[in-house]
Structure 1
Amino acid sequence: MKTPSYIQNINEWKEKFTFQVPVKVRFSETDAFGHVNNTNAFVYFEEARIEFFKHLGFMQKWASDRHETMIVVADLQCDYIKQMKFDQKLSVAVHINQIGRSSLDLHYMVVDEDTEFCLTGRGTVVQISKNTGRSIPWDDEVKMVLEKELDIEERR
């Protein structure tokens, strides 16, 4: 496997993932060639990202009409390693690579039942104001949770 530029050491990188969600490939996600259509990689990343933010307790706030901020994806990258097919069981993992002033650099890893890499990816999410669309720095409470999560991942 050719290692993407955002991964320095594949074995160390793989160990940082502490959060994962199971995904079963649905028939509607496959194309005429019988494998997962390339666009669905981003759907898998989104599913893991949302569940990760729920796990941290953030998604509930961002989804509320009463909360002033939300997150948006600023960029998203995927490296396709191995084909995936209908009914295949996958594990989609996400971890925080870096915390910015109002952003997070997240990394993604998708493996099959044999723990072979299918996809890797990275992307940036930014917290913005729902009213102005401008970035808003993480508050102290959120930053503390993010830093704690990053510390847990780095200790693995």
Structure 2
Amino acid sequence: MLPAYIEDVQTWLADFYYFEDIKVRFCETDLFGHMNNTVPFIYFEQVRTAYMENSGLMAQELEPGVFGVPVMANLHCDYVQQAYYNDVLKVGVKIARIGRSSIDMHYVALKGQEIIFTGTSTVVQMNKNTGKSIAFNNEQLESLTGTVK
């Protein structure tokens, strides 16, 4: 059973635009040979940061004197099927909503055509000195809106 944020699977999947192939490592499995339930969060972080780097969103955050940094406010995973050692998963990310200072992202992991797990997150741009949210600038908004279908 799929989570409520997926109304129509084919439409939802069609909107994904960034994927990486990730092979389940032995150290990521439990005694039963299943992928451990903490691992999807690592995969989400891997595709999220790669997507943000490729779209130019991380470059300026890492420069000296820049105060806005992306901070994870919420991260959730819905497990649909088991994954095992040596499975190759196609893990994707997309932006579902752009706010003034935050973005909602959706994630999917596929093994072939089968959904293994899905997820959602909210990333907030924070001022690293004050700890308060700050609005995206025009350049960031252009990068973000260029990836939303």
Task: State TM-score, norm by structure 2.
Answer: 0.96
Can you give the 5+ residue segments of structure 2 that lack an aligned partner in the other structure? none
- CA distance, structure 2, for counterparts of residue 64 and residue 88 of structure 1: 37
What letter corresponds to residue 135 of structure 1 in structure 2? S
Deviation at 1:123, TM superposition (A): 0.8
Q: Which amino acid aligns with 2:92?
A: A
Q: Is the 8 A contact 2:35 2:85 kept in 1?
A: yes
**Structure 1 unpaired stretches of 5+:** none
Measure how far apart 1:63 and its partner are: 2.7
- Structure 1 SS opposite 2:131: coil
Q: How does 1:87-98 map to 2 (within 5 A)?
A: 87-98=86-97
| Structure 2 CA distance for aligned equivalents of residues 131 and 149 of structure 1 | 29
The aligned residue for residue 76 of structure 1 is: 75
Query: Which whole-Å CA distance do the structure 2 matches of 1:47 and 1:122 have between them?
Result: 14
Distance 2:65 2:36 in 1: 37
Q: Deviations over 1:96-147 (max 9, x none)?
A: 00000100000000001x2210011111000000101100000011111111
Higher helix share: 1
- Matched residues, number: 149
Aligned pairs (5 A) from 1:42-57: 42-57=41-56
1:7 aligns with 2:6: yes
Q: Which residue of 2 aligns with 1:61?
A: 60
Q: Which residue of 1 is the match for residue 140 of structure 2?
A: 142
Q: Taking structure 1 as the reference length, what is the TM-score of the superposition?
A: 0.92
DSSP 3-state at the match of 2:110: strand
Structure 1 match to 2:40: 41
**Which residue type is aligned with residue 87 of structure 1?**
N
Mapped to 1, the partners of 2:31 and 2:81 lie a distance apart of 17
Once the 2 structures are TM-superposed, how far is the Cα of residue 12 of structure 1 from its aligned partner? 0.3
Q: Deviations over 1:3-46 (max 9, x none)?
A: 21111111100000011011011111111111110000100100
**What is the distance in 2 between the residues matched to 1:20 and 1:66?**
32
Letter paired with 1:108: Y
Q: Distance in 1 between matches of 2:63 and 2:32?
A: 41
RMSD (CA atoms): 1.0
Identical-pair percentage? 40
